[in-house]
């Protein structure tokens, strides 16, 4: 009789080591199917739409957006914070869970790391185009210049974002690439002589699989995981300071750093699940992305979603307890003002809908979890929209109050950012192993006795 207290298998279907290599490398070696081409056509069309909108905005000016003297950020910063949040799950799954020896991460960590890079690329796009003169974007970095003593303003949150994003991207890229090296060598050894084999030979850095090589590799990987872990907290904390250091009611709150970090993990985990549910079906990876991953990640969504919901209540409590009429007005205006529809959409998607994941039957339904993750990402986008717009459109002076409506250019740029994200992810799935081959082999027999007992 099997011990039911033990964990279920991480890989189902009685896979052998050679089966793992074949299953993960096969989609890279054959011509893409019709499903992949359809998805790529849709994603690339969205990307082209966004590229046209950005070109028009740069050529015409920032006036193509629906901004006004009262609402000065709106969609640009909303999309920026949203994509930064999406990028956090990759580092969480890869670095933090690696340090805590969570073996289930091996089925999803590679795709999550790639998702981090693509999301950060999308995020970095918005501060640049929001500058109005993006060709001067390099001024944000402290470099020896010809302007004498004129330097960037180190007190500006925009400068903090530049440092945070660039550091996070470089560390994440290094961490992702180092983890890829053993798998690149595997693909190199399978490839036929030619251009493809040459490319993989270069990027596998002469990997020979010797004991000494593995020993040095695991040490470097551990050090990078330890270095990347603080970035999960620090990057989105710095993003939250964009708001918390202001004196605008609804922003000036010490709860923002932990609140933003929890929300980032919440939305990022939902996006990972959304992508992996699609990838497992399209690429035939059901054995490696199974109910164990679905169950654990759904529980993490419930946990972080509950933290986000508690943060919403804490904001209201703080506003009422602090007896600041401006702060109280902002939160009542969010719930009952002109943008109440956005606020309650946020609450429904982020607080109410994820609670269904408490039920085991729902957590084990691929379709229902996929739908819930879609709602979570919609809700997290609206969270940033609500925080920004509802705090700005009602200023201290009623005479300066103004509404805000996104223009078609802003909506097209948002669609284009999703197009960029999904286009890069689809290309990644075709060119590189979407699952860490070396790591999945290490957990191949984990829980196998339970599968045999059933």
Question: Does position 390 have pLDDT exceeding 60, yes or no?
Answer: yes
| 1 band by pLDDT with thresholds 50, 70 and 90 | very low
- The angle subtended at Cα 47 by Cα 366 and Cα 159, nearest 5°, is 95
pLDDT score recorded for residue 449: 46
| Packing angle, helices 109-130 and 34-60, rounded to 10 | 20
| 147 band by pLDDT with thresholds 50, 70 and 90 | low
Work out the number of other CB atoms within 10 angstroms of the CB of residue 253. 19
Which whole number is the average pLDDT over 241-270? 86
Which of 61-75, 244-258, 371-385 tops mean pLDDT?
Answer: 371-385
Question: Does position 255 have pLDDT exceeding 90, yes or no?
Answer: no
Task: With CA atoms as reference, report the closest residue to 435 among 22, 158, 2, 3.
Answer: 22
Which of 124-128, 268-272, 353-357 tops mean pLDDT?
Answer: 353-357
Task: With CA atoms as reference, report the closest residue to 272 among 175, 413, 377, 357.
Answer: 377
Which whole number is the average pLDDT over 338-364? 93
Contacts of 291 (CB under 8 A, 6+ apart): 8, 364
pLDDT score recorded for residue 3: 43
pLDDT score recorded for residue 150: 67
The per-residue pLDDT for range 183-192, each reduced to its tens digit, is 999 889 888 8
The per-residue pLDDT for range 257-287, each reduced to its tens digit, is 888 888 888 988 899 889 888 888 877 778 8
Model pTM greater than 0.75?
yes
* Whether 164 contacts 234, CB under 8 Å: yes
Structure tokens belonging to residue 388: 């920004």
Question: Does position 351 have pLDDT exceeding 80, yes or no?
Answer: yes
Q: How far is CA 223 from CA 174, 220, 438, in A?
A: 12, 5, 19
| 298 band by pLDDT with thresholds 50, 70 and 90 | very high
Query: Could you say which DSSP state residue 24 is in?
Result: H
pLDDT score recorded for residue 130: 83
Which whole number is the average pLDDT over 141-154? 71
Task: With CA atoms as reference, report the closest residue to 199 among 180, 223, 172, 215.
Answer: 180
User: Rounded to 5, what percent of the chain is helix, strand, coil?
Assistant: 75, 0, 25
pLDDT score recorded for residue 452: 47
User: CA-to-CA distance for 454 and 449, rounded, in angstroms?
Assistant: 9
Structure tokens belonging to residue 85: 């949040």
User: CA-to-CA distance for 404 and 398, rounded, in angstroms?
Assistant: 15
Which of 38-52, 60-74, 235-249 tops mean pLDDT?
Answer: 38-52
User: CA-to-CA distance for 324 and 279, rounded, in angstroms?
Assistant: 49
Question: Does position 205 have pLDDT exceeding 60, yes or no?
Answer: yes
Question: Does position 356 have pLDDT exceeding 50, yes or no?
Answer: yes
Task: Name which of 44-58, 187-201, 233-247 the model is least confident about.
Answer: 233-247
User: CA-to-CA distance for 286 and 18, rounded, in angstroms?
Assistant: 17
Which whole number is the average pLDDT over 400-416? 92
Which whole number is the average pLDDT over 154-169? 80
3-state secondary structure of 294: helix
Question: Does position 201 have pLDDT exceeding 70, yes or no?
Answer: yes
Q: How far is CA 44 from CA 31, 51, 128, 370, 431, in A?
A: 18, 10, 22, 23, 17
């Amino acid at each position: 009789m099997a011990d039911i207290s033990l964990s279920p298998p991480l890989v189902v279907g009685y896979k052998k080591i050679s089966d793992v290599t074949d299953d993960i490398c096969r989609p890279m070696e054959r011509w893409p199917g019709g499903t992949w081409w359809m998805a790529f056509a849709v994603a690339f069309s969205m990307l082209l739409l966004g590229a046209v909108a950005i070109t028009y905005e740069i050529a015409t000016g920032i006036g193509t957006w629906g901004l006004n003297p009262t609402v000065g950020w709106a969609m640009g910063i909303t999309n920026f914070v949203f994509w930064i949040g999406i990028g956090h799950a990759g580092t969480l799954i890869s670095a933090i869970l690696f340090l805590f020896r969570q073996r289930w991460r091996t089925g999803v960590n590679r795709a999550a790391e790639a998702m981090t890079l693509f999301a950060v690329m999308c995020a970095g796009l918005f501060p640049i185009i929001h500058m109005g003169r993006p060709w001067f974007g390099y001024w944000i970095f402290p470099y020896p210049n010809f302007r004498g003593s004129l330097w960037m303003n180190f007190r500006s949150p925009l400068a903090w974002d530049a440092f945070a994003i660039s550091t996070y991207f470089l560390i994440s890229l290094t961490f992702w690439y180092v983890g890829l090296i053993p798998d690149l060598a595997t693909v190199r050894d399978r490839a036929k002589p030619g251009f493809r084999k040459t490319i993989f030979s270069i990027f596998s850095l002469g990997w020979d699989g010797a004991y000494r090589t593995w020993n040095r590799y695991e040490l470097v990987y551990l050090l990078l995981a330890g270095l990347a872990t603080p970035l999960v907290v620090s990057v989105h904390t710095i993003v939250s300071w964009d708001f918390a250091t202001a004196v605008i009611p609804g922003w000036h709150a010490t709860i923002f750093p932990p609140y933003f970090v929890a929300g980032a993990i919440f939305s990022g985990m939902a996006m990972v699940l959304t992508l992996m549910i699609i990838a497992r079906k399209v690429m035939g990876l059901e054995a490696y992305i199974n109910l164990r991953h679905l169950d654990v990640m759904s529980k993490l969504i419930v946990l972080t979603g509950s933290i986000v919901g508690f943060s919403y209540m804490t904001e209201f409590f703080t506003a009422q307890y602090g007896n600041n009429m401006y702060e109280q007005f902002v939160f009542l205006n969010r719930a009952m003002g002109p943008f109440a529809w956005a606020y309650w959409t946020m609450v429904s998607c982020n607080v109410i809908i994820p609670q269904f994941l408490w039920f085991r039957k729902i957590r084990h339904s691929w379709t229902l979890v996929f739908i819930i993750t879609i709602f979570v990402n919609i809700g997290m986008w609206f969270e940033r929209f609500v925080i920004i717009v509802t705090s700005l459109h009602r200023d201290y002076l009623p005479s300066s109050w103004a509404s805000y409506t996104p223009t078609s250019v802003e909506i097209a740029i948002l669609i284009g950012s999703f197009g960029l994200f999904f286009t890069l992810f689809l290309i990644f799935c075709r060119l590189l192993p979407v699952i860490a081959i070396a790591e999945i082999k290490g957990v191949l027999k984990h829980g196998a006795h339970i599968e045999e007992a059933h």
